[in-house]
């Protein structure tokens, strides 16, 4: 059974204090790993898709990396507007498997 | 290009009633997936429809059902509502091919009293 564990559950940063969020996964064969950002009361907003170990993607202050067992979302010099819940999901390559989501990391960036 | 839209955005029902939620995918997307999100369980997969056929189903009771129309719009129905059905119901669309990114709508917040 595919599983995703995100850590920490919550993270509080000062503005400008860089950090990383972790997504550990277990999947028989990885088709894709997805990062989303979710603001309170809204639907998840797509950030990145990673397909193979060693792949990296960047967008503004965010950078996602992937190994065979985990993915990291690095946040460089965060701003208060980066405060949100960050969700990680994996999709296995066994047939039409659905996305399996972690429970997310709730990030608060304090000015 | 317009995003995924969901209606209604908020809904209050009482136990035993039924509810129908609607989702319009991004133009050109043929796959629609539904998820239930609660604080305790996170995002859980309900079902996926592609070209009017259910392609995958999550571990939810038969009270939860869905369908997809020829224009790719989808509806999900929950019958005999229970208090535990209170949640944010999210719809996501994709082109329908493998390794496709799913794009989410704003969700429907359902409160069962």
**Do the Cβ atoms of B32 and B98 come closer than 8 Å?**
no
- Which residues in chain B are closer than 8 Å to A102, comparing Cβ atoms? 42
- Which residues in chain B are closer than 8 Å to A31, comparing Cβ atoms? 98-99
Most B CBs within 10 A among A57, A99, A105, hence the mutation to make, goes to A99
**What is the reported pLDDT for B96?**
77
Residue carrying structure tokens 């990145």: A48
Phi (first) and psi of residue B83, to 5 degrees = -55, -35
Q: If you average pLDDT over every residue of chain B, what do you get?
A: 94
**What is the reported pLDDT for B99?**
55
> Taking residues B62-83, what's their average pLDDT?
97
Strand, coil or helix: A80:
helix
**What is the reported pLDDT for A82?**
97
Nearest-CB residue to A104 (from B42, B44, B105): B42
The yes-or-no verdict on residue B34 having pLDDT over 60 is yes
pLDDT band at A97 (very low <50, low <70, confident <90, very high): confident
**What is the reported pLDDT for B40?**
85
């Amino acid at each position: 059974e595919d599983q995703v564990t995100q850590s920490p559950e919550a993270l509080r940063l000062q503005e400008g204090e860089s950090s990383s969020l972790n997504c550990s996964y277990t999947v028989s064969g990885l088709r894709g790993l997805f990062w989303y950002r979710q603001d309170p009361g809204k639907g998840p907003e797509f950030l990145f898709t990673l397909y193979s170990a060693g792949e990296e993607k960047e967008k503004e202050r965010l950078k996602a990396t992937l190994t065979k067992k985990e993915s990291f979302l690095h946040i460089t010099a965060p701003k208060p507007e980066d405060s949100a819940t960050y969700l990680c999901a994996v999709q296995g390559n066994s047939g039409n498997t659905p996305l399996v989501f972690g429970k997310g990391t709730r990030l608060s960036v304090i000015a | 290009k317009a995003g995924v839209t969901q209606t209604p955005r908020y809904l209050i029902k009482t136990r035993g009633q039924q509810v129908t939620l609607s989702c319009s995918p991004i133009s050109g997307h043929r796959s629609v997936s539904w998820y239930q999100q609660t604080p305790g369980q996170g995002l859980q997969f309900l079902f996926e429809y592609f070209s009017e056929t259910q392609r995958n189903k999550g571990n939810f009771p038969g009270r939860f059902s869905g369908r997809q129309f020829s224009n790719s719009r989808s509806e999900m129905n929950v019958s005999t509502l229970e208090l535990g059905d209170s949640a944010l119901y999210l719809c996501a669309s994709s082109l329908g091919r493998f390794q496709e990114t799913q794009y989410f709508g704003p969700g429907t917040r359902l409160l069962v009293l």
